[in-house]
Amino acid sequence: MTRTARPLIAGNWKMNGLYSDSLTELRQLIKNTEATGTMACDVLICPPATLLREMAAASKNTAVDIGGQDCHANGKGAHTGDISAQMIAECGATYCIVGHSERRTDHGESDAVIKDKAAAAHGAGLIAIICVGETLAERESGKTLDVISAQLAGSIPVESNSDNTVIAYEPVWAIGTGKTPTPDDVKAVHAHIRQEISGRIGNSDATRLLYGGSVKASNADELMVIDNVDGALVGGASLKTDDFWPIVRSCC
Ligand code: PGA
């Protein structure tokens, strides 16, 4: 295993979480980090926007960071239902996911839009987690690395560096399906991403590359020791602290 960056274990709650239960889960997570003492990785929860302010307040000065799941590319304006990166930052969040495949698919977001969103996140002082990943059809037709290259080329803004940008490799067919690529496949894609971001992201060797897609307690140990895997972006298994914590511990 080669690792040059401090790992990040991020939970993406998607459209899950009401106030009371969410705060209970978060408090348990914080308690676990406090009981651990010095954490060897960063821990992030990206709750629905409705919970950002409360959760950021509850996790202030703890080892848990809070992030948004998406932001609009513009700072403000007539965009019903959207929120800006600055609004997310004002809640006390420090990260924002952009380009998740559910946004690309459900909302038709292109690489160009994702690039603008990442730039907006940077402009608001947020760390952008830019997601890339191939569909099953693309994998089966041998296009995985080409698809990833094109997504990286199109969605990384010029000011990106290892401090303000994280890349998450999330094969679309592995998200929420219980299927994961083999360790060799993950290794090959992450090595490819590391190579592709050189020249596109400042200090690319120290840029964190997360694996996402059906990460759970039972496979985290195996996934987190793969070369160039600097953490995980976890969906379903991040909703309950009891499920998420063993994944955190696989890196910390
Ligand atoms: P999953 O989702 O862990 O539920 O597969 C991952 C993601 O979409 O980030």
Q: Dump pLDDT digits (tens) for 221-237.
A: 999 999 999 999 999 99
Choice among 170, 190, 192, 196 that is catalytic:
170
What is residue 117's predicted lDDT score, i.e. its pLDDT? 98
What is residue 1's predicted lDDT score, i.e. its pLDDT? 57
**Please, what is the Cα angle at 50 between 47 and 56, to 5 degrees?**
60
Q: Pocket of ligand 1, candidates 172, 234, 247, 248: which has the most ligand atoms within 8 Å of its Cβ, to mutate?
A: 234
- Residue 234 beta carbon below 6 angstroms from any ligand 1 atom: yes
CA of 46 to the centre of ligand 1 (A): 12
CA of 78 to the centre of ligand 1 (A): 31
Catalytic status, residue 100: yes
Catalytic status, residue 170: yes
Each residue's pLDDT tens digit, 169-179? 999 999 999 99
Choice among 72, 100, 122, 192 that is catalytic:
100
Name the residue with the closest Cα to ligand 1, atom 1.
Answer: 235
CA of 202 to the centre of ligand 1 (A): 27
CA gap 123, 61 in Å, rounded: 23
What is residue 87's predicted lDDT score, i.e. its pLDDT? 98
pTM for the model: 0.97
Q: Which residues of the chain have pLDDT under 50?
A: none
Q: Pocket of ligand 1, candidates 98, 175, 250: which has the most ligand atoms within 8 Å of its Cβ, to mutate?
A: 175
- Residue 247 beta carbon below 6 angstroms from any ligand 1 atom: no
